[in-house]
Amino acid sequence: MPYDHRKTAPRTLALALALAGCCAALAGCGASQASEDSPAAGKGGTQTPPPAVNATPATPTAPGASATPATTAPSSSGSPSGSGQQESRSLAGRTVVVDPGHNPGNFRHSREINAKVDIGTARKECDTTGTSTNGTASEAAYTEAAFTLDVSHRLRDLLTARGAKVVLTHDADRPWGPCIDERAAIGNAARADAVVSVHADGSAVGHRGFHVILPARVSSGAADTGAIVGPSRELGKNIADHFARATGTAPANYLAGGTGLDVRKDLGGLNLSTVPKVFVECGNMRDPKDAALLTSAAWRQKAARGMADGIATYLNG
């Protein structure tokens, strides 16, 4: 137990020195670290809580607050002082746009999200509802829109803790959308140093793992990705590397030859971007093993940390 300095002082110099050394050793043991499994911000909007979340969600972020750097979020290294503080400001002056895929309200606005918009190479639906896990009689399905918003909150908090300005394309603060062309426009208007669109896949059972979608070289109508193909690939490679390390999961076993990097030209969010941008498909919600990870709050925190580390490596590279 700690030495009580209020008791009678020792009468010999040797005993005093010994006790003083003991006190000095004990004095440094009071620091504590915040749990990595507890996000600094909870879920927002009308989304359904995931079936396997143990942490109690905090009050949802108010609309418009997503661009304000958090001042109380934990350091990215988990250390309250020293090198942790230096690392936590490593993205000062940088702007990152985080795009939570889909919207929990899209299910109630099929007419609006089915309206076609120009994606440069074609016309495509404004947005979709996204996928979900397979629900059971005792457990509701966990929607992709709920997943992406939760991970995006965690990612925002990790990035703002490092000094970045973070803009969310939405925070479930609107009834549906935004459309895919508007999502691209938000990143462009912010002059973002990097944009990451958070998603989860809906493939067949047995298809497991994550992948990062990169923009193809497109020059058609409103789309011209020539300037962002190279930087986006570097951003995607860094995120894939750190995501695998942080989560312990492997690249998808069902596409892109197992590289974890998939190039596409049919996504308006990439085609219309003028700043480096990637999509991260964190796993397959339709596979029960992947679904067990995606519904875990602890794993979602690891996924957000992997993305944050990848973004930071890219921006500081």
On the 0-12 / 13-18 / 19+ scale of CB atoms within 10 A, 122 is middle
- Please name the residues in contact with 125: beta carbons below 8 A apart, sequence gap of 6 or more: 113, 114, 115, 116, 117
Active-site annotation holds for 139: no
For residues 104 and 143, what is the distance between their CA atoms, to the nearest angstrom?
Answer: 8
Helix (H) or strand (E) holding 15: helix 13-27
Alpha-carbon distances of 5 from 10, 17, 19, 20, 219, rounded to whole Å:
10, 13, 10, 10, 75
The angle formed by the CA atoms of residues 100, 105 and 106, to the nearest 5 degrees, is 80
- Is the separation of the CB atoms in 47 and 146 below 8 Å? yes
- Is the separation of the CB atoms in 69 and 160 below 8 Å? yes
Locate tokens 């400001």: which residue? Answer: 89
As a whole number of Å, the end-to-end CA separation of the chain is 47
Residue 54 DSSP label: -
Joined together, the tokens standing for residue 69 give 């750097």
Joined together, the tokens standing for residue 16 give 């005093």
For residues 1 and 157, what is the distance between their CA atoms, to the nearest angstrom?
Answer: 37
For residues 81 and 85, what is the distance between their CA atoms, to the nearest angstrom?
Answer: 5
Joined together, the tokens standing for residue 68 give 């304000």
Q: Which of 125, 139, 182, 281 is catalytic?
A: 281
Joined together, the tokens standing for residue 211 give 């992948």
Where in the sequence numbering do the catalytic residues fall?
Answer: 281
